[in-house]
Structure 1
Amino acid sequence: MAVVVRAGAAPLWWSGVVAAGVGAVPEGWTGRRTGALAGAVLFVLAAAVVALTRRRRYDILARGATRAGRYDVLQDRAVTVRNWRRGHRWWLVLAWVLALGSTFAVPVAGGLLLAGCGTGLRLKAGWLGRRERALESLLWVRVDQLDARAGRPAGKTVGGLRGTGVAAGDAAPGGARRRTAALV
C-alpha cells in the first residue's frame, strides 16, 4: 500500500523543484520575494494536508489486514510504480504546466506547492512504513481492487488489505526499494 502512496512523491517533488527554479527567473506581478514567501507557506501547508488526510481510513484498513493467501495476486514494487505513473502522466504534466504558468503571477509559489504535495506523499509513506514495522507485516492492496488509474490505495474499491512478512517481496516497509546486501 505504501508503494502506491510513494509512487507519486518523486514526480511531484522533482517537477515542483524544476517549476520553482524556473519560476525564480521572472519578476511576476508580486515580485520574487513575496512569491518565495508565499511558496514556502504553500509548501508547508500542502505537505501537512497531504500527509494527514485519510489517515483514519489507512489505519482502519491496516488494522483489518488479513494474511495474504495462496491465490492473492500481489504486484512487484516496480510494476506498481510504473502503472501508477503511466496512469497519472497527463495529470503530472498538467500540474507542472500550471505551476510554470503561475510563475508569471506569483513566482516560485506554484512549484513549491507541487513540491509540497510530493513531500506530503513521502511523509505519508513513511508513516505507513512505521505502521508496517509496528505490525511486522507489509501491507498490500490486491491487484484486482487497486485501480492504477485512480491510484487510491484506500479508495472505495479497496475492501481490505493483505499482509505478508516484512521480508516478502521487493519493497521495504514504507514502499522504498528493498536494499540487498552484497555477497562477499
Structure 2
Amino acid sequence: MRTRHALIDLELDLVLMALAPEVDLRYERIYGYLQDDLSRGRPLVGLVLDLPAATPEERPAIRGVLAPDAPLLGQRSLTLVPDPRPVAPPFLAHFLVPDEQITDVLLGQSGLDRRLAGCCRLERPPALDADLTRRAGWGDGRRPVRLYSQGPAGSPRSRLAHDLAAGLGLALLTLDPPGSRTTTSTRRRT
C-alpha cells in the first residue's frame, strides 16, 4: 500500500489506527477509553490528530493528511464518517473508517470487492498453455492486462477472454448487467 499509493509513515499510521478494530475488537474498547466515551469504538479525527503529534504545532500537518484531495481520502483508502449523535458534528468528531476492500487486501483476503458482487463475477479459469498470450505479447508483468469483450456467456468472445485469462494465470472479472441473471434464468424456464 505504501508504494502503490505513495504513502508516508504518518499516512500509514492513520490507516493502521483505522484498521485496528477490524483486526481485534479490543481496540474498540481502547479507543473508547482514549476518547472518554466507550460507545466510540473507532478513532475520531480528534484522536488521530493527538496520538502522533508530539506538540500542538504538529496537529495542522496531520490534519492536512486528511484533506479531501490527500491520498488517504482522495483515493478512498479511508473514509470520514460523521458521529451520528451531534446534529452537525465538527471535523474532529468524524470517525476514520478503512475502505472494505482495502481492509480485505491488508488482511490477506482476496476476492471480488463486495460492492461489485451484485453485478460482477470474479472467475479464475483453469490454467492453459500460455502460447497464445506469449505470441500476443501480453502478460509481460509491466502493465495490467485489460481486455474488453462483449457477448453472451459461451460465445467466441467470452471463450477468448477466458483463454487469455487462463494463459496469463489471471482472474477474469465478468460484468453481469442488472437484470441479466434474471433474464437468463427466465429464458431457461420457458
Indicate the TM-score class for this superposition, using the shorter chain for normalisation: under 0.3
Q: Which structure would you say has the larger Rg? A: 2
More strand by share: 2
TM-score, normalised relative to structure 2? 0.24
More helix by share: 1
| More RCO (CA 8 Å, sep 6+) | 1
